[in-house]
């Protein structure tokens, strides 16, 4: 059985052309591009909490890095470097090889160098730290929304939640939705190009990791505003005669509070609507105007039915300690 350092050398030691010094020393040495600021984020994935124990290790490798790149995308930052730390119950080489393959596939897709990390024996958990660059004063933040701004979301939030429900046997989706929803759950696509395109256009942004209502609420909290979401303006999700009322409610709950989508939710002044439409066309990515920011209790998000009446939801999003 290979030891810790042999496993690291075999599966995680790769060339790092964007680093002055990569893995193998006590620290990596990094040099941001001239005049740029660093954006730094970290996320943990714990077996049984963030992913199912039987998740394909290739997809888990991809997702472990992708969820961190998504945070950089939400700030309008260009991904550059990442570090991986993890605890593994055993030195299972086939599992590690597959995980490494997915992890480095994501790194290659988004131009990220893996510059260090750590391993130990223990319950399966993974922690990635990702670093990116942005120009001073240009980062997309959560505190820039203004009353009257439009609220937008990319892609189709809710697919990941439906994918989890399908895997757990709580729902039976019609084809081709099972494949699409499970892929959204296990192999999210960070919206880096969108984040960069929104620089100078969006007033605030966040990635949808805990649930659309919860994350839009975070923009409201930091901006000192409330928000309204129009039910009829939400993206289409699978529905039809095969869905009973309970399943339709589950689909809506996944869309509004499911989380794990890693789409971008952002705000713009109404005058930027045409610019957002142009970005959607250029990136071939649906961007939906779903509501607006307003004066009110900071962080409050109200969902309105087609008649303008508020709809109550018991769940707003994911909270590890809620």
Strands 301-304, 310-311: pairing is: antiparallel
Question: Would you say how long the chain is, in residues?
Answer: 322
Which residues does the chain have with pLDDT short of 50?
A: 240-241, 319-322
Q: How far apart are alpha carbons 76 and 137 in whole angstroms?
A: 11
Query: Residue 319's pLDDT is what?
Result: 47
For the CA atoms of 154, 157, 160, 164, the dihedral, rounded to the nearest 10 degrees, stands at 180
Side-chain-side CA neighbours of 238 within 13 Å: the count stands at: 23
- What separation in angstroms does the CA of 32 have from each of 29, 43, 78, 107? 10, 22, 11, 18
Query: Residue 15's pLDDT is what?
Result: 83
- Spell out the alpha helix ranges (H) of 200-267: 212-223, 245-257
Nearest-5° Cα angle at 263, 316 to 286: 115
Q: How far apart are alpha carbons 277 and 12 in whole angstroms?
A: 41
Query: Residue 321's pLDDT is what?
Result: 34
List, in order, residues 6 or more apart from 75 with CB less than 8 Å away.
39, 132, 134, 139, 140, 141, 195, 205
For residue 221 the two structure tokens come to 């909290």
Q: Domains in the chain and their CATH numbers?
A: 4-134 (3.30.1330.10), 150-309 (3.90.650.10)
Intra-chain end-to-end CA distance of the chain, in Å: 42
Query: Residue 322's pLDDT is what?
Result: 43
* E strand intervals along the chain: 37-46, 78-88, 113-121, 125-134, 150-154, 202-207, 226-230, 264-268, 287-294, 301-304, 310-311
Query: Residue 313's pLDDT is what?
Result: 76
Query: Residue 24's pLDDT is what?
Result: 83
């Amino acid at each position: 059985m290979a030891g810790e350092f042999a496993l690291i050398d075999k599966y995680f030691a790769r060339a790092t052309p964007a680093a002055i010094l990569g893995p193998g020393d006590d620290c990596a040495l990094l040099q941001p591009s001239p005049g740029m600021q660093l954006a730094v984020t970290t996320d943990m994935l714990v077996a049984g909490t963030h992913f199912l124990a039987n998740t394909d290790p290739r997809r888990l490798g991809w997702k472990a890095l992708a969820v961190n790149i998504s945070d950089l995308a939400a700030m309008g930052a260009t991904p550059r470097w990442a570090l991986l730390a993890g605890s593994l119950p055993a030195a299972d080489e086939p599992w590690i090889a597959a995980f490494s393959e997915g992890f480095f596939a994501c790194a290659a897709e988004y131009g990220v160098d893996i510059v260090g990390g750590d391993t130990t024996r223990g319950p399966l958990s993974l922690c990635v730290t990702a670093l990116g660059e942005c120009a001073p004063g240009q980062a997309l933040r959560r505190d820039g929304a203004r009353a009257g701004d439009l609220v937008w979301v990319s892609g189709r939030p809710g697919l990941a939640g439906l994918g989890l429900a399908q895997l757990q046997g709580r729902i039976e989706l019609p084809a081709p939705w099972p494949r699409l929803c499970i892929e959204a759950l296990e192999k999210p696509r960070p919206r880096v190009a969108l984040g960069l395109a929104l620089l100078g256009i969006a007033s605030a942004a966040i990635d949808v990791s805990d649930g659309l209502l919860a994350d839009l609420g975070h923009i409201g909290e930091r901006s000192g505003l409330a928000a309204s979401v129009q039910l009829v303006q939400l993206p289409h999700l699978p529905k039809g005669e095969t869905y009973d009322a309970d399943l339709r409610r589950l689909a809506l709950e996944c869309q509004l509070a499911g989380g794990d989508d890693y789409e971008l939710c952002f705000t713009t002044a109404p005058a930027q609507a045409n610019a957002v439409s142009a970005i959607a066309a250029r990136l071939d990515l649906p961007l939906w105007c779903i509501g607006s920011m307003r004066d009110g209790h900071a962080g409050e998000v109200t969902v309105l039915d087609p008649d303008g009446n508020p709809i109550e939801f018991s769940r707003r999003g994911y909270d590890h300690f809620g």
